Amino acid sequence: MSGISTMDLFAGGGGMSLGFSNAGFRVVAAYDNWMPAINFYRRNITGHPIHRFDLSDADGLVESTALRPDLIIGGPPCQDFSSAGKRNENLGRADLTRSFAAIVSGLRPSFFVMENVDRALKSRALAEAMQVFRDAGYGLTVKVLDASLCGVPQQRKRLFVIGEMGGQDGFLDARLESGLADRSMTLREHFGDRLGLEHYYRHPRSYARRGIFSIDEPSPTVRGVNRPLPAGYPGHAGDTCPVHSSVRPLTTKERSLVQTFPEQFILEGNKTELEQIIGNAVPVKLAEYVAKCLSGHITAIGFQTAQQTLAAQRMDVLGTGVQARIQI
C-alpha cells in the first residue's frame, strides 16, 4: 500500500496515522488544531508534516491544499456524542463531523475512513454527513467494532464509516467481520506480568459503577481523565478485589500502551493534556486492523493510485515511441 497517499484529519496523538502507516499506507500530511496534540504528534511521528488548521473551515482546507490524496482518514471530536460527554449536538463539535464530510466531498479521494463513538449512529450530524458522502458518489460501509477483538486489550466500541468512490454499500463488511478475534484480549495477554499488579483502579463516572478491575479482563475504555483512588471510594459489588491502599490507577505510560501506542513513544508535557491526548486517540491496533481490511479490498479490486496510473501512461507512451522507431 506504499502508493496509497493518505491524509489524516483531526489527527490528535496519531493513532490513526500510525495504524495506517503500519499497514503500509503512505501518510503524506496530518492536520489538527490543538497544539498539545500537534506537539505530541511531531515528537513521535516523523516523515511527513502535521499542520495546525481549524478544520471547521472545510472550504479553506480544500482551497488551500495542493494535496489530492487517495485516502482521507480521521476521527472528528466526539464529545458531543459520547456517553462521557454532554451528548448535545448543539455544542458545536458535532459540526466537525459535517466538516469532515465537506472536506472529503471537496477533495474527492478514492477512499475515506471516519471514526467516532458508536453513539454517533443516532446523531443528526452523522446522518447529514452520510448524505454528503452518498451525494458525492461514495458507497459506504458502516460498522461498529470492539477494539478488544482487533488486537487491543480494551473494550472500546467505535464506529467506522468507510467510503469507496463508486463502490457498493457494505463493500468492506465481510473483511471487517472475518478477521475479528474469537474473544476479547486481556491486559495480561498484552502485558504479561510487566504491570506488576493484578488489579487496578479506573475512576467510574459514578459510584453506581465499579472502579476496580482485573488484568485478566480487557481494560474498560481509556478516557481522557485519570484519577487516583479517592479516600471516599465506597467499593462496589463488581470490583475484582477489596479496596486497599495498594490498588492504584494505571500510569499515563501504561494507559498509552493499553491504547497500543509504541513503547518508545515519548510522553512529555502537561500530565492533564497527555491523559486527554491518549484517551481521545484511536487505538493504534484498531486503526491498523481497519487499514489491513481496506488494504485487502484495494488489492483485490486492483486499484491504481494516480501516480501509478500516470507512470503506466508514461510507459505506454515510451513503448509506443520505441515501437515507432523500430518500425521506421
Active site residues: 78
The Cα 303–Cα 306 span in angstroms is 10
- Give the count of beta carbons closer than 10 Å to the beta carbon of residue 84: 15
DSSP-derived letter for residue 141 is E
DSSP assigned state of 312: H
Q: CB of 3 within 8 A of CB of 26? A: yes
Cα–Cα distance between 212 and 203 in angstroms, integer? 8
Q: How many CB atoms lie within 10 A of CB 240?
A: 16
CA 78 to CA 261: how far, in whole Å? Answer: 20
- How many C-beta neighbours within 10 Å does residue 3 have? 16
At 297, list the grid cell: 479490498
Is residue 210 exposed (0-12), middle (13-18) or buried (19+ Cβ within 10 Å)?
A: middle
